[in-house]
Amino acid sequence: MTSAKLDAIDLRILDVIQRDGRITKLALAEQVGLSPTPCWMRLRKLEKAGIVSGYHARIAMRVVAPVATVLMEVTLASHRQADFDRFERVVRDIPEIVACWSVGGGVDYVVKVMTRDIDAYQRLVDDLLEREIGIDRYFTYIVTKTVKDEIVLPIADLLPASA
């Protein structure tokens, strides 16, 4: 199933479940205007196609404990595929690195790190540098305030106009 094959009901299903992943089958069916069985079959099809990749609880970590959220730009010294692969393999195994994007432009990666405090962040960076995974430069941006951190995607707005 590709985005071009999603119809209005599929889009409604996606919109509803991303807002409430714990919704019952019956409530979902009512909200999208289907009977429960066809609605559930559509949802299973969206899951099998990889369009729905999981269901998660969103944790307000700052309510649990103080944390430091840091964005880091990383530039590698060499740009061979093996260098990118090595960096990405290490990043995937570090739990404090909660997101990593390969980007175009003046840097190679933007990394989101969450640690107990700035000292813990610096220890993580020191460890990365000691591993010699090809980091040439990095820049640190400490998040002082979250203005928007949306998890609900504007699905209908992101699709081509003809979809």
pLDDT tens for residues 8-25?
999 999 999 999 999 999
Contact criterion met (CB below 8 Å) for 5 and 160 = no
Instruction: Tell me which residue has tokens 């429960």.
Output: 36
Cβ neighbours for 86, distance < 8 A, ≥ 6 positions apart: 133, 134
Mean pLDDT score of the chain: 92
| pLDDT confidence of residue 58 | 86
> Per the structure block, which two tokens stand in for 92?
């995937």
For residues 41 and 98, give the distance between their C-alpha atoms in angstroms, rounded to a whole number: 32
| pLDDT confidence of residue 2 | 46
| pLDDT confidence of residue 3 | 46
pLDDT tens for 135-152 read 999 999 999 999 998 888
163 pLDDT exceeds 60?
no
Q: What is the mean pLDDT of residues 21-35?
A: 95
Phi, psi (5° rounding) for residue 78? Answer: -125, 150
pLDDT band at 162 (very low <50, low <70, confident <90, very high): low
27 pLDDT exceeds 80?
yes
For residues 32 and 39, give the distance between their C-alpha atoms in angstroms, rounded to a whole number: 8
Measure the CA dihedral 13/16/17/22, to 10°: -130
Contact criterion met (CB below 8 Å) for 40 and 29 = yes
Query: Is the entire prediction scored with pTM above 0.85?
Result: no
| pLDDT confidence of residue 113 | 98
pLDDT tens for 102-138 read 999 999 999 999 999 999 999 999 999 999 999 999 9
pLDDT band at 5 (very low <50, low <70, confident <90, very high): confident
